Amino acid sequence: MLYYHRVNNVDRRMAVAPELFLAQIKRLQKSGWRALGMAELLRFIETGDKPGRKCLAITFDDGFADNWYYAFPALQSAGMKAVIFLITERVGNGPPRKAEAGPEVRPFDEANKAALAGDHDDYLRASEIKEMAASAVAEFGSHTRRHRPCFKGPAIERFILSASPQWARQALAEGDLRPGAPLYEWASDVAVRRYQPDPAVKEKLVAFMREHGGSAAIKEEGKQAWTRKLREEARSITAASRGGELESEEAAEKRAHEELKKSRAAVEGLAGAPCLALCWPWGHYSELGIRAAENAGYKLAFTTETGAAMRDNDPFTLNRVRVSSTIAPRALDLMLAALSTRAGAGLAAALSRAGSGDQGRRSE
């Protein structure tokens, strides 16, 4: 089970170069690997019916436009199938774009920040999805409608100390980027009960930061120093706070079910085919989220935890192997061969983790 995000020459952290991706796919084809669709994978997990000795699944998270520019032609040339998990509210409009026009793509964090502001140029268009779905090599799944985080508990993880924080932190801040604002422990909003902090805590911390010089003070003394000072101030403030409110489990599951159900319907409308699979945002999953996904009609769900998919695996917590920009075609082939045996799975997983910091987790 392989997973990618992007294929381009710009995003070194989250992308594989087009030439390398083509070489990887060609190597897998020549080595006799067969890429399964989701219905075949589900049948294997449920019954053990394996279409061949060397089978895998190729997946892409997020639905970036470079999947159309670069990944799709490579997959077609090798006759290898892939599943693309769409963030359905980021799907764009307009005619299919031409790769030969020399597309410009933004790095991962910039593309996500632009999407938060309603700019979806870095993502697939509905017309491109339709054309890809009509081929023999592309299938589509859900990555939720919005791929949004939420606070899940009262522990403060960090503070807003920059005018342009990482995109998930910007989403958590909901547009309030005032220096000193606290960011609490968080997870995907389809995996946990939402925590609503006491707004008075934020206002007091923002006021404290402003009274001590704001952004200028942060620049002068550094983020580490101000993180320590804000943590000390937060301890005294939260001791007198009325506390936050945690969403009920029933309300959280209902909300997650609605998000997942609408996303699945959107994927089916875009692709004109059943949507069997879900990819958990950030790899975050929970019993609550699994119940919501199952009730929304999904049959499979993928994590970002490293490992192979075996018969009798839980179909809603399937492991994958992230393919980074450092994995040569031959190394990928050898890694897959190791993963296909239980004895070699641990070594192969370790090799994959060495090239990737992207690990999912169960969120409770």
- H or E element: which one contains 17? none
Q: What is the per-residue pLDDT for 354?
A: 46
pLDDT value of position 101: 56
Q: How confident is the model at residue 349 (pLDDT cuts 50, 70, 90)?
A: low
Q: Which of 94, 61, 122 is nearest to 303 (CA)?
A: 61
Range with lowest mean pLDDT among 166-180, 284-298, 303-317, 338-352: 338-352
Q: How many CB atoms lie within 10 A of CB 9?
A: 14
Q: What is the pLDDT of residue 334?
A: 86
What confidence score (pLDDT) does residue 34 get?
A: 93
Whether residue 236 has pLDDT greater than 80: yes
Residues 336-359: what's their mean pLDDT?
56
Q: Which CATH number fits domain 2-146+254-354: 3.40.50.2300, 3.20.20.70, 3.40.190.10, 3.20.20.370?
A: 3.20.20.370
Q: What pairing do the DSSP bridges indicate for beta strands 2-4 and 318-322?
A: parallel
Q: How confident is the model at residue 339 (pLDDT cuts 50, 70, 90)?
A: confident
Residue 328 pLDDT greater than 80, yes or no: yes
- What span, in angstroms and rounded, lies between the C-alpha atoms of 150 and 245? 13
Residue 342 has pLDDT above 80, yes or no: no
Kindly report the three-state secondary structure assignment for every residue of 106-121: CCHHHHHHHHHCCCCC
Average pLDDT over all residues of the chain: 91
User: Quick one: residue 35, left, alpha or beta (phi over 0 = left, psi -120 to 50 = alpha)?
Assistant: beta
Q: What's the pLDDT band for 309 if we cut at 50, 70, 90?
A: confident
Count Cβ neighbours within 10 Å for each residue of 151-181 and write b for 16 or more, e otherwise.
Answer: bbbbebebbbbeeebebbbbbbbeeeebbbb
pLDDT-derived band of residue 126, with 50, 70 and 90 as boundaries?
very high
Helix, strand, coil tally for the chain in percent (to 5): 45, 20, 35
Query: Where on the phi/psi map is residue 323: left (φ > 0), alpha (ψ -120 to 50), or beta?
Result: beta
C-alpha distance across the termini of the chain, in Å: 25
- Radius of gyration in angstroms for the set of CA atoms belonging to the chain, rounded to a whole number: 22
pLDDT at 98: 86
Whether 182 and 211 have beta carbons less than 8 Å apart is answered as no
Nearest to 142 by CA among 333, 243, 307, 275: 275
Query: In the chain, what are the domain boundaries?
Result: 2-146+254-354, 150-188+198-243
pLDDT at 357 over 50: no
Q: What is the pLDDT of residue 68?
A: 96
Q: How many CB atoms lie within 10 A of CB 350?
A: 10
